[in-house]
Amino acid sequence: MTDPASPTAPSPLAAPAVRSRNPIRRVYDWVLSWADTPYGIPALFVLAFMESSFFPIPPDVLLIALALAVPTRSFRFALICTIGSVLGGLFGYFIGYALWSTFEPYLINRVFSQATFDSVTNKYNEYGELAVFIAAFTPIPYKVFTVAAGVAKLNILGFTGASIIGRGARFFLVAAIIRALGPRAKRWIDEYFNMVTVIGTLLLIGGFLVIKFMS
């Protein structure tokens, strides 16, 4: 019998038995399947690391599954997810900074489009570290910004700080919602979480603009 206090307890988000023909859905189900194994926590770290530079499925998927299985460890899972994501972001930065000519053919039009990448790179000239925070906290693909930050030669200390704050705020918010709502958290996150992160970011930007206007 599986110990209900263990992170390997059956996940409320466990993958369905019927295998989807959609390749992205199959990857999604594969990610969820790790929640029901003894390797759920290492898989969360690896997934968070990979998603920050090239993997298509966000780590929130596995984080939610693990946290719903063991709500008392939600913040621990969020910390592991944050560390993995920030380190993965630094790897993405390194790709853009030192290895872009090698990785460009494999990432452009496969992981993200040339137009999207050019747009993100241009944003750094205007917003700098704030652009990193926005991507780290909101549904915007963080991986595009990590690689583009390296290409744009963004200050690495500012990049790392913005990543820690943005990724940490996102994952710990997920953990806090699960601790507060329990099994109802999954439906609430599905319906409202992205909207909350976008509104929170807009309020933050608005605050910066007010400070700038008043200074």
pLDDT in single tens digits along all 215 residues of the chain: 344 445 555 555 544 445 556 666 677 778 878 878 888 999 999 999 998 888 878 888 889 889 888 888 999 999 999 999 999 999 999 988 988 878 777 777 766 777 777 777 777 767 778 888 888 888 777 888 898 889 888 899 999 999 999 999 999 999 998 898 887 877 777 777 667 667 766 655 554 444 444 44
Residue 6 within a domain:
no
- CB-CB contact of 12 with 183 (8 Å): yes
Amino acid letter at 102?
T
Domain count, the chain: 1
Predicted pLDDT of residue 7 = 55
Residue 137 within a domain:
yes
**Longest distance between any two alpha carbons in the chain, whole Å:** 63
Predicted pLDDT of residue 193 = 67
Predicted pLDDT of residue 11 = 53
CA distance 152 to 121: 6
CA distance 171 to 176: 9
Residue 74 within a domain:
yes
Q: Is 51 exposed, middle or buried (0-12, 13-18, 19+ CB in 10 A)?
A: buried
Residue 91 within a domain:
yes
Residue 13 within a domain:
no
DSSP element (H, E) containing 115: helix 114-127
User: Which domain range does residue 95 map to?
Assistant: 23-214
Coil, helix or strand at residue 112: strand
Residue 117 within a domain:
yes
Residue 72 within a domain:
yes
Amino acid letter at 174?
V
